Amino acid sequence: MKQRIFRRAARRWPRRHPRQARFVTYDTARAVKLLFVSDGTDEPLHAIVKQLAADGKQVEAWGYLPGKQPLPDDGLQRFTRRDLTPWGRPRSRVLQQMNEHEADLLIDLTTADTLPLLYAALTARAAMKVGSRTTHPGLYDFVLQPTSDGAAASGGRVRYLFDQIIFYLKNIRTSD
């Protein structure tokens, strides 16, 4: 039922909220927004944020913490089940906080469908959206299908997916 509600919202959102999608290379991106599923520690995310900041990018990282553990205070923004509507959508105050700043590049680092983060990706204000899922066509401007030989651990998968996305964004050339 929740998935059906999301599919309906995904069909309606672009008509009601049109956006100018454009291809953004890694070099031209100034602001990057990351979406991730949080495990509470998120060690790979800290390294990713440091790498992006070292490359001169403004980084905003938003994670969904599905468990009941307390929210850590480590500079990464997170939301929990308490911040969701009964249909699995983040409450409007959370979406407003997420979309306060427009990003050049949205990178969804989730490797499985997580309904709250699908809503976050759908409603995100970003010139280009990058993700790894293909179950919801039209959600991302650039979809990467990582091979199964990526790292097996959860943190390893996130790092592997990030490295693959950055590799392609750095190597794809446009005529803009």
**Can you point out the beta strands (E) in 23-133?**
31-37, 58-65, 77-80, 103-108, 126-131
Q: Is the dihedral of CA 167, 169, 174, 176 positive or negative?
A: negative
Asked if residues 141 and 14 have their Cβ atoms less than 8 Å apart, the reply is no
- The pLDDT assigned to 112 comes to 82
Task: Check pLDDT > 90 for residue 40.
Answer: no
Q: Which helix (H) or strand (E) holds 142?
A: strand 142-143
- The pLDDT assigned to 43 comes to 85
- The pLDDT assigned to 6 comes to 72
Q: Kindly report the CA angle at 113 between 104 and 86, in degrees rounded to 5? A: 100
Task: Check pLDDT > 90 for residue 3.
Answer: no
More confident residue, 67 or 96: 96
Nearest to 14, CA basis, from 171, 102, 122: 122
Q: Pairing mode, if any, of strands 103-108 and 31-37?
A: parallel
**Average of per-residue pLDDT across 44-52:** 93
**Average of per-residue pLDDT across 104-122:** 89
- The pLDDT assigned to 33 comes to 96
> What are the boundaries of each domain within the chain?
2-171
Judged on CB neighbours under 10 Å (0-12, 13-18, 19+), 173 is: exposed
Task: Check pLDDT > 80 for residue 110.
Answer: yes
Asked which of 12-16, 79-83, 112-116 is least confident by mean pLDDT, the reply is: 12-16
Give the domain 2-171 fold. Rossmann fold (3.40.50)
**Average of per-residue pLDDT across 170-175:** 78
Phi-psi region of 138 (alpha: psi -120 to 50; beta: other; left: phi over 0): left
Question: H helices within the chain, ranges in order?
Answer: 2-16, 43-54, 92-98, 115-123, 154-171
Instruction: Provide the pLDDT confidence category of residue 113 given band limits of 50, 70 and 90.
Output: confident
- The pLDDT assigned to 88 comes to 86
CB-facing half-sphere around the CA of 138: CA atoms within 13 A: 12
Asked which of 59-68, 88-97, 119-128, 150-159 is least confident by mean pLDDT, the reply is: 150-159
Instruction: Provide the pLDDT confidence category of residue 105 given band limits of 50, 70 and 90.
Output: very high
